[in-house]
C-alpha cells in the first residue's frame, strides 16, 4: 500500500512541538535583533533553518559584514549535503522536480523521521515526503511569525523551556531509531554513536563547532558502513 500526503502529515506531527518551540524562540530572537515582523517571517520562508536564523540575528546585532554572515550560515548548514546524500538513493526513481522539492525543504527533523521510516521498511515515496516536509515548513513559518508577534512580551524563551524543545524532540527520534530498526545490532548502533560523540568532544577543542560536527558525522558514517560490510 502506497503512503499518501496525509500519511506524511501524520508522520510530522510528533516533531511539531520542536518546530513550534524553536520557531517561537527564533521569532523572539529575530525581533530582539530589531528585525520587523515581515523580516522575521521572510527569514523563516527563505532561509528556513533554526540555527542559521539565530546566527543571522546575533551577527546583525554586532554589525557583522554580510559576506561573513553568508559564509557562517553556509558552514552551519553544510550538514544538509550529508543528509541529502543519505536520502537521495531512496528517491532516485522520482522526477528531478520532486527531488528538488524534497531536498529544498529537508531539515534535521524531517531527515530523522524519513530515515526512521526507511529503517522500518516503510514504502516511502515522494508524495509522503512532501506531506512531511510541507507540514514542517508551514509549522516553522507560523511559529516564527508568532514569536515575532509576541517578541516584546517574551524576552527570554529559556524561561519557558523553549530552548530545550529541539533537544527533547531529537532524544525521542533517536529512541525510535534505536528500537525501530531490528536489522542492526544495538552494539553497532552504540559504537557509531560513541564514535561520533568522542570525536565531537575532541575536535571541539581544535576546530569550529560546525567543522567538528561535519568531521565526526563523516566518521560515524564510515564506521557504520564498515560494520555493515563486516556483518
Contacts of 57 by beta carbon, 8 Å cutoff, 6+ apart: 26, 29, 30, 32, 33, 35
% residues pLDDT > 90 (the chain): 30
Q: Which of 219, 3, 43, 12 has its CA nearest to residue 136?
A: 12
pTM assigned to the model: 0.72
List, for residues 134-167, the tens digit of each pLDDT value.
999 999 999 999 999 987 676 565 566 655 655 6
Query: What separation, in Å, do the N-terminal and C-terminal C-alpha atoms of the chain show?
Result: 31
Task: State the Cα torsion 172-174-175-179 to the nearest 10°.
Answer: 140
State the DSSP H helix or E strand holding residue 77, giving kind and residue range, or none if neither. helix 66-77
CB atoms within 10 A of CB 183: 9
Predicted confidence pLDDT, tens digits, the chain (231 residues):
689 999 999 999 988 888 888 888 888 888 878 889 999 999 999 999 887 888 788 778 777 788 878 887 887 787 788 888 889 999 999 999 999 999 999 998 899 899 889 888 889 999 999 999 999 999 999 999 999 998 767 656 556 665 565 566 556 656 655 655 555 566 777 787 788 888 888 988 888 776 777 788 778 777 766 766 655
Give 72-93 pLDDT, tens digit per residue. 788 778 778 888 888 999 999 9
- Enumerate the domain spans of the chain: 5-183, 184-231
Buried/exposed code over 137-173 (b: 16+ C-beta within 10 A; e: otherwise): bebbbbbbbbbbbebeebeebeeeebeebbeebeeeb
Distance of alpha carbon 158 from alpha carbon 150, whole angstroms: 15
In angstroms, the CA 52 to CA 72 distance is 8
Amino acid at each position: 500500500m502506497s503512503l499518501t500526503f496525509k500519511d506524511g502529515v501524520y508522520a510530522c506531527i510528533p516533531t511539531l512541538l520542536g518546530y513550534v518551540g524553536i520557531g517561537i524562540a527564533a521569532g523572539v530572537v529575530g525581533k530582539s535583533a530589531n528585525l520587523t515582523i515581515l523580516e522575521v517571517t521572510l527569514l523563516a520562508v527563505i532561509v528556513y533553518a533554526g540555527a542559521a536564523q539565530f546566527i543571522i540575528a546575533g551577527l546583525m546585532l554586532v554589525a557583522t559584514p554580510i559576506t561573513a554572515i553568508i559564509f557562517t550560515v553556509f558552514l552551519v548548514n553544510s550538514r544538509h549535503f550529508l543528509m541529502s546524500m543519505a536520502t537521495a538513493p531512496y528517491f532516485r526513481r522520482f522526477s528531478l522536480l520532486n527531488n528538488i522539492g524534497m531536498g529544498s525543504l529537508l531539515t534535521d527533523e524531517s531527515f530523522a523521521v524519513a530515515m526512521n521510516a526507511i529503517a522500518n521498511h516503510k514504502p516511502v515515496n515522494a508524495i509522503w515526503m512532501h506531506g512531511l516536509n510541507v507540514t514542517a515548513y508551514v509549522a516553522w513559518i507560523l511559529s516564527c511569525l508568532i514569536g515575532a508577534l509576541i517578541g516584546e512580551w517574551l524576552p527570554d524563551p529559556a524561561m519557558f523551556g523553549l530552548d530545550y524543545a529541539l533537544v527533547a524532540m531529537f532524544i525521542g527520534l533517536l529512541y525510535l531509531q534505536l528500537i525501530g530498526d531490528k536489522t542492526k545490532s544495538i552494539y553497532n548502533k552504540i559504537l557509531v554513536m560513541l564514535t561520533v560523540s568522542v570525536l565531537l568532544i575532541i575536535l571541539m577543542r581544535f576546530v569550529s563547532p560546525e567543522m567538528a560536527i561535519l568531521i565526526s558525522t563523516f566518521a560515524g558514517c564510515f564506521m557504520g558502513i564498515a560494520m555493515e560490510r563486516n556483518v
